[in-house]
Chains A and B, each alone.
Chain A
Amino acid sequence: MAEATFHVFRGDRNGGDLKEYRVPMEEGMVVLDAMHWIQGHLQPDLAVRWNCKAAKCGSCSAEVNGKPTLMCKNRLKYLDTTKPIVVKPIKTFPVIKDLVTDVSWNFQVNKKIPAFKPKEGTDWRYTQAEADRVQEFRKCIECFLCQNVCHVLRDHGQHEKFGGPRFFVRVAGLEMHPLDDEDRSGSLKNQLGLGFCNITKCCTEVCPEDIHITDNAIIPLKERVVDRFYDPMAMLLRKLFGKK
């Protein structure tokens, strides 16, 4: 049977190296299958996160030949198997062990986002077209690949001041909910640092759910923040007639 060679990162917070494994190839195989084969036959303690194996849970994010990807979706037939396939953990978050990283920061960011607040007295009716708009954002499987490639986090390490594309998508899903009555523009500007994003669209490119993160979530949110904080007419009107 034909084999593929994998160079897999083995190590922890203190560093590590690529280790070579040879894996028999099977029809339809994905990179995650290969990692499982290595665990089951060569390296029982190889650390890797996964759950659904069908691109629905967003657990198995990694960088394969330098490209951020879900390992469960990454078919060997689209990789050059004449050369070693390099598998590394996502770079933006600290390594725990091997391919597993500490993504707990993301769960802290999530807590900062004001919750859904339904309009008072609503009859809970809205159209499918209105639902479609927010359902795009609610498709997010939290694989954190967008967080991984965002240069504000990856290169500049602004984790303290910046929420990252995943959470702009989440805020967009709340803000554009037809029945939501909360104003999150202050939180976007101050706690989540939306202004740091200079719309390079790296996040959109890696999204396995094809969410148009930049165009449909971030840019409209930026417009909201601008309207709220920097529109001189609106500021004047607010001064004259009170809030909103």
Chain B
Amino acid sequence: MAEHETHEFDVIVIGAGGAGLRAAIESSAMGAKTALVCKSLLGKAHTVMAEGGIAAALAHVDAQDSWQTHFKDTMKGGQMLSNWRMAQLHAQEAPERVRELERWGAVFDRTPDGRILQRPFGGHTYRRLAHVGDRTGLEMIRTLQDRGVHQGIDVFMECTVTRLLKDGDRVTGAFGYWRENGRFIVFKAKAVVLATGGVGKAFKITSNSWEYTGDGQTLAYEAGAELLDMEFVQFHPTGMVWPPGVMGILVTESVRADGGVLKNSKGERFMWKYLPENKRAEFAKNEDEAKQWLSDQVGGRVPDFNKRPPELSTRDNVARAIYTEVKEGRGSPHGGAFLDISHLPAEYVKKKLPSMYHQFKDLADVDITAGPMEVGPTTHYIMGGVYVEPDTGANNVTGLFAAGEVSAGVNGSNRLGGNSLSDLLVFGRRAGAGAAEHAKRADAPVVHGYQIDGAGKDLLAPFEGKGEDPYPIHRELQETMQSLVGIYRDEKEMLRAMEKLQELKKRAANVRVDGSRMYNPGWHLAWDLRNLLTVSEMITRSALDRKESRGGHSRLDFPKMDPGHARHNTRVLKRGEEMAIDRKPLPEMPEELKKLFEEKK
């Protein structure tokens, strides 16, 4: 058998961002022997870059807020494709999860009466996001990290999992390697929680780090799991567009929530043009009304909810607007739109957006208190992912659980800003509990030598490869997905993408790496590339099947929402060696929840 070390746990959690940490904390608190495995050092996961806040109906700032309103906002933001039960649990439990973070030592910004402050955000009716300036993710990950450390969770840092191990139909462990020295490691476990995040590195312009290579989606797929909604990729409207090295890096939505306005090269505040007809009543009608809203908001008064600035439309909509302005020749010098918050006092901007201030000053020589930023859409998030049972995070494969961005369900076709951090906490906890509960009942895990041998052989294959190194293949994949399966899609382009993906797959099968197994990024990328190709195919195939435009999925050849696509999720499943796509009916929302949509707001 391939040489390896073996560790046995009740539960292993793969991924140490918000969802993975929260899952591990819960699992361990329930008495399960728990390991946390992550590709980076602890505390460096993508959650650390989250900026705006955690959406939770605490009702500290707007007393009218309630879980019902948060639930409705989430369902509407996702164009009714969210799993109703997940959207409900999410809205109901987010406040308690935020308070729990506070009890564990997180220090949020405060209201004048000393409670957790909440800021407005796109698609949220009320001011709802608990935050810490524009570095909420750092606060969250550090709080969870320290909580986890004191709970005695075993952490395996810089360790990549490349395969789930199965005994018959159930997942019984995972195979991986230490990035430091390339040695193999086998985990035997009664339950595995995937919390590996997203897929952004399949695209050229992205806010995501190197870790976001679709690992969990691919691990689950290979193990026979169902995936849903993979066509729904979120292009965040505001990423940096200049200089080239930082293209795609996130510019938080808080800039717009705290008063930033979007303008084109002609100086027009263009977002009014792009508000969907049925949403116009929820926004300011003109510059004066928007100004009034902002001055109330900054001045600590209660602003009129139906006079929000148009920049607070949902992300899918703002991203399309900027894209269109640039395409029609009204872009900024580096191909974006102008985002300006310099009309507000410099001290206010620095207090509310400290990391944006430094990011632009240090990396782009722009002082955001003195002039506008240039911004454009950037691949940010995937709404779809591994299917999970809402209450427990369990997948259709026994012993497999998932939480956070890698899973599907709560966000439907478009995620509202702030709903990700709350998702991580609510469903991280639930998946951790689900896995620990499962582990109590499950038989001792059995792993099979032939699976370990196979996984080891596949992982080392690139050292024997005769083809090219992985970097150029990765660059071509990113170009392909960016230009053919990006913010606007049509059938012809996506079919071209499918052809290109097949070609890249062949080239990737022969990929060659040089050097040793010691901390070798070329080798690491060779493996990540397989995952990226798999998720790119899922995204493209799912996008081809959804012949309509909805949320984050916009088709030029089917520009309207189609009621015929309103009642199902697109499902991806491995059948034999084939990637099969079909349509899975949405679960029926109970009457009492349906009624919420009939009542007047």
Residue contact B138 to A56, C-beta cutoff 8 Å:
yes
Contact residues, A47-83 vs B (CB, 8 A): 47-59, 73, 75
B470 interface hit (Cβ, 8 Å): yes
Residue contact B48 to A135, C-beta cutoff 8 Å:
no
Residue contact B363 to A110, C-beta cutoff 8 Å:
no
- A26 and B244 in contact (CB under 8 A), knowing A39-B521, A96-B180? yes
Closest residue of chain B to A97, judged by CB? B519
Q: Which residues of A contact B107 (CB under 8 A)?
A: 131, 134-135, 138, 173, 177
A32-B245, A51-B44 known, 18 other contacts, Cβ within 8 Å: A28-B246, A40-B471, A44-B522, A45-B513, A45-B515, A46-B521, A50-B209, A53-B249, A107-B41, A107-B155, A128-B109, A128-B117, A131-B107, A135-B107, A138-B139, A139-B138, A141-B48, A177-B107
Residue contact B243 to A52, C-beta cutoff 8 Å:
no
Contact residues, B337-385 vs A (CB, 8 A): 355, 358-359, 362-364
Q: Which residues of A contact B109 (CB under 8 A)?
A: 128, 131
A26 to B242, CA, bound (A): 11
Q: Which residues of A contact B155 (CB under 8 A)?
A: 107
- A44 and B471 in contact (CB under 8 A), knowing A51-B211, A104-B157? yes
B287 interface hit (Cβ, 8 Å): no
A136 to nearest B CB, angstroms? 10
Q: Which residues of B contact A205 (CB under 8 A)?
A: none
Closest residue of chain B to A98, judged by CB? B519
A46 to B514, CA, bound (A): 11
Residue contact A47 to B359, C-beta cutoff 8 Å:
no
A102 to B514, CA, bound (A): 23
A244 interface hit (Cβ, 8 Å): no
Q: Which residues of B contact A27 (CB under 8 A)?
A: 242-244
B110 interface hit (Cβ, 8 Å): yes
A110 to B150, CA, bound (A): 9
Residue contact A135 to B132, C-beta cutoff 8 Å:
yes
Q: Which residues of A contact B110 (CB under 8 A)?
A: 126-128, 130-131
Binds B, one of A111-119, A149-157, A193-201, A221-229: A111-119
Residue contact B513 to A44, C-beta cutoff 8 Å:
yes
Contact residues, A16-46 vs B (CB, 8 A): 26-30, 32-33, 39-41, 44-46
Residue contact B146 to A97, C-beta cutoff 8 Å:
no
Q: Which residues of A contact B516 (CB under 8 A)?
A: 45
Q: Mark B252-271, 1 if CB is under 8 A from A, else 0.
A: 00000000000000000000
A124 interface hit (Cβ, 8 Å): yes
A127 to B117, CA, bound (A): 11
Q: Mark B142-165, 1 if CB is under 8 A from A, else 0.
A: 100011011000010100000000
Q: Which residues of A contact B146 (CB under 8 A)?
A: 110, 115-116
A173 to nearest B CB, angstroms? 8
Q: Which residues of B contact A50 (CB under 8 A)?
A: 209-210
Residues of A within 8 A of B (CB): 12, 26-30, 32-33, 39-41, 44-59, 73, 75, 96-98, 100, 102-104, 107, 110-111, 115-116, 118, 124-128, 130-131, 134-135, 138-139, 141-142, 173-174, 177, 180
Residue contact A30 to B475, C-beta cutoff 8 Å:
no
Cβ 8 A contact of B359, one of A30, A33, A51, A54: A54
Q: Which residues of A contact B43 (CB under 8 A)?
A: 142
Binds A, one of B97-105, B483-491, B496-504, B560-568: B97-105
Q: Which residues of B contact A59 (CB under 8 A)?
A: 40-41, 44
B115 interface hit (Cβ, 8 Å): yes
- A-B pairs, 5 with minimum CB distance: A28-B243, A44-B522, A125-B114, A116-B105, A45-B515
B518 interface hit (Cβ, 8 Å): yes
Q: Which residues of B contact A177 (CB under 8 A)?
A: 105, 107
Q: Which residues of B contact A103 (CB under 8 A)?
A: 41
Residue contact B520 to A45, C-beta cutoff 8 Å:
yes
B227 interface hit (Cβ, 8 Å): no
A210 to nearest B CB, angstroms? 9
Residue contact B135 to A100, C-beta cutoff 8 Å:
no
B91 interface hit (Cβ, 8 Å): no
Q: Which residues of B contact A111 (CB under 8 A)?
A: 149-150
Residue contact B48 to A56, C-beta cutoff 8 Å:
yes
Q: Which residues of A contact B135 (CB under 8 A)?
A: 56, 139
B27 to nearest A CB, angstroms? 19
Residue contact B244 to A28, C-beta cutoff 8 Å:
yes
A21 to B358, CA, bound (A): 30
A17 to nearest B CB, angstroms? 16
25 residue pairs of the A-B complex, CB under 8 angstroms, read A27-B242, A28-B364, A29-B243, A30-B245, A32-B245, A33-B245, A40-B475, A44-B513, A45-B513, A45-B514, A49-B40, A53-B249, A57-B48, A57-B49, A59-B44, A75-B363, A107-B157, A115-B147, A127-B110, A127-B114, A128-B109, A134-B107, A135-B132, A138-B139, A141-B48
